[in-house]
Amino acid sequence: MRWSVLLIALLIGEAMADPLADAVIRFQELSTYKATVRSMAADGERQVIRYFFRKPGWVRMEFAEPHRGVVLIYDPEARRIRLWPFGLNHALVLPLAPDNPLMRSPRGHRVDRSDVGALLDTLVALRARGNVVALGAADVSGHPAVGIEIVGAASISVAGVHRFQVWLAHDSLFPLRVKSFDAENKLMETVDLTDVAIGIRFSENFFTP
């Protein structure tokens, strides 16, 4: 019995030896997800967005803060954004390119690079030019999580970030909280992902209303 418990512990430890690599594999395996994204910048700017994603890159954002009612959808095949500034119930819709300055967040985030896969790519790129350390287990919004910290060597940054602290859900390895820091180790932004659901089925016209 004692050996069985020890073996299970060893297997769990081996499985979690590289949570970032495992998180990348998990993301490659999923096809859809949704989450409520809450971001807080160092200057106090706050955003709350209901976020929906379907491979190969469809994105739908429904804004709750600060531009309540705004909806945008990114079409990866046409590489175009459709923006409903007054909501889907209004006829006005604006076609925009993903590199349009109006579609960039104050920290330079683009809609076509806003999904968890893009985040994981950034983390992997920074780790390749730095190192990663374990932060240990934690509770994030009521969910068991494992934390890691990725730091660029010297003053190296990727996408403007020198250091990330990331907490991944213990069961799915889906990111639940991300903190980003600049080259001076000043906190830039904290992002929480709640109400996460993976592998959900969207209606036929959810991304093409």
In the prediction, which pLDDT does 203 show?
Answer: 96
Residue type, 89: N
Q: Which of 75, 113, 114 is nearest to 193 (CA)?
A: 114
pLDDT above 70 covers a percentage of the chain that reads 92
CB 13 within 8 A of CB 22: no
Question: How many beta carbons lie within 10 A of that of residue 53, not counting itself?
Answer: 22
In the prediction, which pLDDT does 104 show?
Answer: 80
- The least confident of 4-8, 78-82, 97-101, 114-118 is 4-8
- The least confident of 1-10, 12-21, 126-135 is 1-10
Please compute the mean of the pLDDT values over residues 55-75 and round it to a whole number: 96
Measured distance CA(124)–CA(129) in Å, rounded: 9
Does position 3 have pLDDT exceeding 80, yes or no?
A: no
Place of tokens 């910290």: 149
In the prediction, which pLDDT does 109 show?
Answer: 82
The mean predicted confidence, pLDDT, of the chain is 90
Please compute the mean of the pLDDT values over residues 45-64 and round it to a whole number: 97
Please compute the mean of the pLDDT values over residues 12-31 and round it to a whole number: 82
Please compute the mean of the pLDDT values over residues 92-105 and round it to a whole number: 89
Per-residue buried b or exposed e for 172-187, using 16+ beta carbons within 10 Å of the residue's own CB: bbbbbbbbbbeeeeee
In the prediction, which pLDDT does 64 show?
Answer: 96
Kindly indicate the confidence band of residue 16, based on its pLDDT and cuts at 50, 70 and 90: low
Please compute the mean of the pLDDT values over residues 41-57 and round it to a whole number: 95
Measured distance CA(176)–CA(206) in Å, rounded: 24
Please compute the mean of the pLDDT values over residues 107-119 and round it to a whole number: 91
In the prediction, which pLDDT does 13 show?
Answer: 45
In the prediction, which pLDDT does 155 show?
Answer: 87
Question: How many beta carbons lie within 10 A of that of residue 32, not counting itself?
Answer: 16
